Amino acid sequence: MAPSFGRVTPVLRSFDEAKAREFYLDWLGFTVDWEHRFAPDLPLQQVSRDGLLLHLSEHHGDATPGSLVRIEMTGVRVLHAELDAKRYRNNRPGLETPPWGGVELTVIDPCANRITFHEPA
């Protein structure tokens, strides 16, 4: 039987649960699916939005701060308008047209992780 691959769930490092919630829940519009704590000061949570899953972890062994996740999607201009209308004080990204085509929107979370939403041409 040939290999079969399932969903990919990126794990992003976080250092401040309150700031992560403000960024991912309040601004990006994700919801918390579940939470786990390896210890009282080490939260891990799964957040999702429209089928997109991310794990946010403060556990030192789970991820490297400053990572990049690139997500293919449709409706990136609609997402940009939604985020721009919220006037988030820490992030006001613009739309970019990369040389390989399409349109992209890159946001940077409070731990310097970058999420690029890419809509192919």
63 falls in which pLDDT band (50, 70, 90)? very high
Does the structure show a pLDDT above 90 at 28?
yes
The pLDDT, as a whole number, for residue 39 is: 85
Q: Which domains does the chain have, with CATH numbers?
A: 11-119 (3.10.180.10)
What is the chain's mean pLDDT, rounded? Answer: 95
Task: Compute how many other C-beta atoms are within 10 angstroms of the C-beta atom of residue 110.
Answer: 17
Does the structure show a pLDDT above 90 at 22?
yes
Provide mean pLDDT across the span 83-98: 96
| Nearest C-alpha neighbor of 43 from the set 30, 32, 31, 27 | 32
On whether the CB atoms of residues 121 and 74 are closer than 8 A, the answer is no
